[in-house]
Amino acid sequence: MTQMAGKACIVTGASSGIGTATAQGLARKGAKLGIVGRDGARLEAVAQECRDLGSPDVRTYKADFASLDEVRGLADSLLEDFPVIDVLVNNAALVKQHRTETVDGYETVFAVNHLAPYLLTRLLLDRLVDSGPSRIVNVASDAHTFGAMEPDDYMSTKAFKPMKVYGRSKLANILFTFELARRLEHTGVVANCLHPGFVSTGLARDNKAAGVFLKVARFFPGVKSPADGAATTLALACDPVHVRGEYFANGKVHRTKDYARDPAMAARLWDDSAALVGLD
C-alpha cells in the first residue's frame, strides 16, 4: 500500500500529538482523511494543515471516546461518508490521575483506550473487509509491561494506580490486535499494533502530574517528537507489511511480554469487550 494517493484513511486522536503527525504524514502522501478528536477547533486547524500538505479531501469528526454512544454515532457518520476505508488508525488515548467513570459507568482509561477503539473497529469491520487490501493500526505502548491483564477487574475497582491502569489498557490494545488478526486471517485486512516510543505529547491532559512531566521530558535525550513517534504508525499504514497480529517498535517487530500473546486471554478479552459494548 505504498501508493496512498486517494486512499481513505481514518485517524482517531488526530487533534494533537502523534495523531496530528500521523494525519499530516498521510496528507503528504495524498491520502483522503477522516480525522477524529474531541477538540473541534483544533481538529479544524489540523484539517487545514493537512489540506495544505496535499490531502485532496479532509473531513473532521468531533467525538468523545468516553461515550460509547458518540463512538456509535461516529461509526455511522464514517460509514455514510466513506464507501471505502483503506486504513483505520486507532490512536486516541489518555491517562487519568484519579479513577473516574464514563457516562456508561466504565472506568475511563479502559473505556477510552480500549473499549472505544474496539467498538469503532467492530462497527467499521465489514467496510474494511469489503475495502481490502486494507489496514488496521492500533497504537499500543511498551507500558503493557507494567503488569498482566486482570480480567476480573477490568474497571480497576480494587485499586487505581494511574500508570498501571494505563499499561493494562495498552495491553488490551495488543491482545485485541492479536485476536483481531486471527479472525481476519483469510481476509484482505492486515492488523498490527505498535509502541511509538517515549513521546512528549498531550496524552496526559487529564493527569496533571504526568502532564507536567511530559512537558519537561521533551528536553530529555532520546525523547521523540510527535513526528518521530508517528513514523512506525505511518509505516504500518502505508508500507508493504508481510506479517499480521504483530507488535512493532522503531519500525520492526518487537517482542512483548508472554501475557500479551496469550490466545486464551485475547479471546476472553474479545468476548468480554463485546458484552461491555453491546455487540455479539
Angstrom distance (rounded) from CA 86 to CA 32: 10
247 is an active site residue:
no
* Residue 215 confidence (pLDDT): 45
Mean pLDDT by 10 residues, the chain (280 residues): 89 98 98 98 98 98 98 98 98 97 98 98 98 98 97 97 98 98 97 92 54 42 83 97 96 97 98 97
Question: In the chain, where are the structural domains located?
Answer: 8-277
**pTM (2 d.p.):** 0.92
* Residue 199 confidence (pLDDT): 84
* Residue 3 confidence (pLDDT): 83
- Residue 126: all three cell numbers together: 465489514
* Residue 224 confidence (pLDDT): 86
Question: Among 61, 106, 154, 166, which one carries the catalytic annotation?
Answer: 166
Number of residues in the chain: 280
Tell me the CATH number for domain 8-277: 3.40.50.720
